[in-house]
Amino acid sequence: MSIRPKKKTVSFYFRFLISIFLIAYVFHKAGLGHLWETVKEAKLNYLLFSVALTPILIWASSWKWQIILRSLGIRLSAGRCFWLYVVGYFFNTVLPTNVGGDVVRAYAVGKSTDRRAEAFSSVFVERITGLSVLLLMAITAFFLALRQLWNFWLNIALILSVVGYVLILLIVLSPRFMAKMTRSIKFKAARILLEKLSKFQNATLALKAHRGTLIFSILNSFLFYLLAVLNVYLSSLAFSSSLGLAEAFIITPIVMVITMIPVSIGGIGLAEGAYYFTFARFGIPGAIGLSVALLMRAKALLAGLCGGIYYSTLGIDIKSELDHDRSRHHVELGDVKGDVRYFSGFEDVMRKKTSPLRKYQEIQIGNPQITSLIKFELLTTLFGYLPGMGGFFFRQLLFPLLFKSCGKGTVFGRSLSLQHSTKITLGKRCVIDEYCRLSAQGDHNSRIILGNEVLLGRNTVLGTRGGHIEIGDFSNIGAGCRLGTTSHITFGNHVLLAANCYIGGAQHRFDRLDVPIMRQGYVSRGGVTIEDNVWLGAGVIVLDGVTIGSGSVIGAGSVVTKSVPPNSIAVGVPAKIKGSRVAD
């Protein structure tokens, strides 16, 4: 998957920096020594009680969601709702993506029932009823403890939360407001979005006829937040806190509201700061508040990992929601019958009866292990397109972990695209310039090997599927070059390619007239070998089955269709021998 700079990059790194700053600030204020002493003296029995409360909290939320779905005509078992909720924790807490857990579970239900508007509405109603109760509790708590909690930034946080809540209700639940927006906006893309939002609005407003469901949702939300209060109380007791149950009723909703403000990554730093601040306001050491926050974070991560394991192993309750339509797994009319290896790795993978996540892992990583997925996503998302000296440093430090092996001193530009990187070996002091793509898809025979001090210029692509690409020491591959093979491409040492060369180690079959060429698979005539000290001018094309002897020079724009003897000078389309570098 290409790691491209996006408009969201600035927002992501801004929130990332805020998270880092808040974490550093809170740890500094609490003091690492005090924090360690607090954690070291934790009481195991209360820790276990706190951990055991986590699935009960998830069950309460998933129960409410199940009832709302039923009112919208979608019937899911309690177990399925529970595990979809746990999978949501995985996307919310473990993966640093822009796809939230709510979107994942709504998409899964909508995909399996073909009722996407209702599925997304169910998640919205479940969340908005919870938010209504939470804001009510937070505002009540704030006024009950006005003396302890009066603070400028806390006031701003509560005001922003209330304003955001009102705007959401206005946009989603007011047909008049929606109609006015639709009439006033002329952009086609925006109007299409509003039409989809209108369907979502209609499905949500349909719940007005189900007052019993809405009342249950409100009561269930109170139950959930009472359990959340108990969760904070038990967690504080684990660290010998003097926090009372009444104070936990004050602190919990305030902290949860603050954590929901989208100024950091997943609330990281914000939650820790909120716990530290509110505990300190009640005369309890900030180190205890921070310890409680870290315990909450650890429990959420544990739940997320459980969700990730469930998601990756394709339990039957979730497989039906995430598999593509069965029709996509059958060969369309006109395809080649029988066992055919398609030229595109994507084609083979997308036809398999497996989940989207497993397909992504097979295309991108080549490894079904969830730990490999997490490592790849973390490193590429956080540092893949980080600009400047910081990006240069972190990629040089951490990107070697993605490869089979990587020699010292190798550096990486930003926005690389890597596929099956554990089949790629890099020598010492290599330079992989920005926007390069290295793909070693296919079976265990696929591999890419770069020798020492190899330079891959900007936007170069190396791709193999079931074959191998080997580039010798001190070779220089110019910008925009393309090397692709299903057999082999082998370069000797000191090979020089100018910009935009193409080296092809396979070609499509085209002997049948009754089948599209792209469906006929591919053949290889033996791959491409370029021996030591060869120079290819700009835009040279070398076709499958060619060997270029050592010391040869190929003129710019030439197409090499036949092997070239050593020390030859070849030019033209097709390339012909025009001379020799060896004196007569």
92 with 304: CB under 8 angstroms? Answer: yes
Closest CA to 365 of 329, 327, 404, 331: 404
Beta bridge partners of 580: 568
In angstroms, rounded to a whole number, what is the distance separating the alpha carbons of residues 447 and 348?
Answer: 19
For residue 434, the number of C-alpha atoms closer than 13 Å in the C-beta half-sphere is 12
558 with 575: CB under 8 angstroms? Answer: yes
Among this protein's residues, is 508 annotated catalytic? yes
Closest CA to 299 of 461, 94, 61: 94
Token pair 């025009």: residue: 578
241 with 284: CB under 8 angstroms? Answer: yes
CA dihedral (235, 221, 321, 194) positive or negative: negative
CA dihedral (552, 555, 556, 562) positive or negative: negative
In angstroms, rounded to a whole number, what is the distance separating the alpha carbons of residues 306 and 319?
Answer: 16
Distances in whole angstroms, Cα of residue 185 to Cα of each of 164, 201, 551:
22, 18, 65
Distances in whole angstroms, Cα of residue 501 to Cα of each of 99, 436, 483, 551, 579:
38, 14, 8, 18, 22
The CA-to-CA distance between both ends of the chain, in Å, stands at 52
- Contacts of residue 290, defined as CB under 8 A and 6 or more positions apart, other chains included, come to 26, 27, 30, 35, 272, 275, 276
Q: From the CA atom positions of the chain, what is the Rg in Å?
A: 30
Neighbours of 368 (CB within 10 A): 14
Candidates 329, 330, 468, 508; catalytic one: 508
479 with 500: CB under 8 angstroms? Answer: yes
Distances in whole angstroms, Cα of residue 244 to Cα of each of 38, 140, 235, 453:
18, 18, 12, 64
- Residues with catalytic annotation? 508
